[in-house]
Structure 1
Amino acid sequence: MRVAVIIGSTREGRVGEKVGEWFLRLAGDRDDVEPRAVDLVDFDFPARYPDHTTAHIRDFVHEVDRADAFVVVTPEYNRSFPASLKQAIDYAYDEWHTKPVAFVSYGHGSRGLYAVEHLRSVFTELHTVTLRNGVAVNLLDDVLDERAGAASLMLDQLHWWGTALRDARARRPYAS
């Protein structure tokens, strides 16, 4: 199952790259998923939503389309998720439909969970299934490897949903 691991922060000095690489290593050790990094820092999105799509927008939408499932690695900035992530999410629409989304969040104190709650609303509008279980990291106290069990459970559930929804899409087109 193809899993796009979207690293949602583009800030200089971000922690998201380290968290994303840690998660990609864990996911890469499994036989049932094929993780692929989709780091938003690698896409040069325009400052304004353009009349015509750019090559970077098309590349991102292609990554969303080819994936069977998603893991969004997000920080919590001011009790929500970064604008760079919202911009990228909005470039695709139908490509998200009927696919599962899981979250690896990080922050101080709340472990990024406010960002995840906001993302759940966004992804509901895109006809996805968001997983209840995720990985939440407190940057002040947590050691990433101590979250490996949570990541494994989340990947088990993501695989179940991803496979079930992929099979359902193959049997019957989604009514949208």
Structure 2
Amino acid sequence: MKLILLGPPGAGKGTQAQRLVDKYGIPQLSTGDMLRAAAAAGTDIGLRAKAIMDRGELVPDDIMVEIIAERIDQPDTARGFILDGFPRTVAQAEALDKLLESRGISLDAVVEIAVDEQELIKRIATRAKEMGGSRGDDDATAKRLEVYRKQTAPVSEHYGAKGMLRRVNGMGTMDEVTALIDAHLRPLVEA
């Protein structure tokens, strides 16, 4: 099972990814984890990424794609993987498509966890208050959602046009969202 999880910040991608890891026995490939691992391993690409991150800059797409290429070549991804946090733009999606095609790998599905933004902001604000957050957290959330809408939401259209997008309502409980995702993935597993 080779999947991409999409959804705005706070939609529950991390929680659902972990449930999919447990269910299918495939690794979650988080871009942040991959960047840290590549830097710690001291590979050429990892050291280049570390230098960029140390300057507080975003790692360019070509370097991210190289890091993903190294990661999907590792033995634990032979049965599949869940990409979480990548692609974030259509350009990244197109670069990922080319990478996977060059390796003879095809995605099984792209699962988007769709949420009502106003409810999501309330949910995140409640969580932040419970953890001692401030009003500044609300502003940061609004900015992150705006960036998501402008840059990442079009990725859904990219995969929708390819017939790969599976959209689930992310406003239910964790178990309800898991059940909706399972309903989309079960036919792929049984095929």
* Bucket of the pairwise TM-score, normalised by the shorter protein: 0.3 to 0.5
* Bigger Cα Rg: 2
Normalised by the length of structure 1, the TM-score is: 0.46
Which one has more relative contact order, counting CA pairs under 8 Å at least 6 apart?
2
Q: Which has the higher strand share?
A: 1
Normalised by the length of structure 2, the TM-score is: 0.44
